[in-house]
Amino acid sequence: MQHLNEEQLVLHRYHDDGVDAVAAGQHLDACADCRAQFDTLCHVLALVDDLPVPQRGDDYGTEVWNHLRWRLGRRDRARVWQAFAAAAMIALVFFAGGLWWAKRHTPAPAGGTIATNPPRSPITSPQNTARDHDRILLVVVGDHLDSSERMLLELTNADASRGLDVTAERRRATELVSANRLYRRTAEQHGDARIATLLADLEPVLLELSHADDRLSPGEVASLQKRIDSKELLFKVRVVSAQAGGRQVPPPQPKGTNSL
């Protein structure tokens, strides 16, 4: 048998040489040069073996839990808020539907007559009610867009060439998809084309992520980033999200300058 090369020695050390293991072992017994090489390799790896890991105290698990508990709690509160937002949204849908029904069934004033009814109060005028509804919709959607924005940022900031672990994001995306649908339909029914269009653009990205594997390949990351970039999705989400929160609308950013 020929001398064992470096890679064969490594395979033999880790018992990864399969059917060649016996032959390699026999060669090592017979060849002093290869044996010396193999011994050196084993000793080098033994040095790494001996490298100690810093000790953590017996109560380390409790320390980890004490930090973690707070973060898990935040997630619980987020769920409560999501449920509250969903309930508020459903109430809004019913309210808007009732308004639409009432409007359709109110008889129009007779032509050529001077209105004798007192003018409507500005507070209850249809225009103001619609404006209030827009505002409520914007506020409710704002929280949803904040969550979506954070996720889009993580995706756009990822180094596509290395792939990406999206275990946590996948779950978040699954939660966001259903909320996104509800908000989009409400916005459509309410005639808010701007929010409806934004949510319609956002939905495929959320869907793609919610159906992805835990680990995205470089190609999948690049594809998602391209989709986000092509529709300027992150910027649009930021604008509406900022308006919902009463913040100043951010200036558009060139590609690759997103910050967390």
The residues that touch other proteins, with contacts defined as CB under 8 A, are: 6-7, 10, 13-14, 16, 35-36, 38-56, 60-62, 64-65, 67-69, 71-72, 75, 157, 159, 162-165, 167-168, 171, 214-215, 217-218
Phi-psi sector, 31: left (phi>0), alpha (psi -120 to 50), beta: beta
Check: CB of residue 103 under 8 Å from CB of residue 126.
yes
Nearer to other proteins, 70 or 105 (CB): 70
Nearer to other proteins, 6 or 122 (CB): 6
CA pair distance 133, 85, nearest whole angstrom: 14
**Closest approach of other proteins to the CB of residue 58, in Å:** 9
CA pair distance 202, 180, nearest whole angstrom: 8
Q: Which amino acid is at 42?
A: C
Q: Which helix (H) or strand (E) holds 81?
A: helix 60-105
Nearer to other proteins, 218 or 245 (CB): 218
How many CB atoms neighbour CB 150 within 10 A?
A: 14
Matching residue, tokens 């000790």: 55
Nearer to other proteins, 44 or 249 (CB): 44
Check: CB of residue 12 under 8 Å from CB of residue 21.
yes
- CA 47 vs CA 9, 13, 41, 202: distances in Å: 17, 15, 10, 52
**Closest approach of other proteins to the CB of residue 40, in Å:** 6
CA pair distance 206, 177, nearest whole angstrom: 6
**Closest approach of other proteins to the CB of residue 4, in Å:** 13
Q: What's the maximum distance between 2 C-alpha atoms anywhere in the chain?
A: 116
**Closest approach of other proteins to the CB of residue 184, in Å:** 25
Nearer to other proteins, 21 or 193 (CB): 21
Q: Which amino acid is at 97?
A: G
Nearer to other proteins, 14 or 121 (CB): 14
**Closest approach of other proteins to the CB of residue 102, in Å:** 43
Which has the closest alpha carbon to 224: 163, 142, 179? 163
Nearer to other proteins, 54 or 112 (CB): 54
**Closest approach of other proteins to the CB of residue 30, in Å:** 14
**Closest approach of other proteins to the CB of residue 253, in Å:** 14
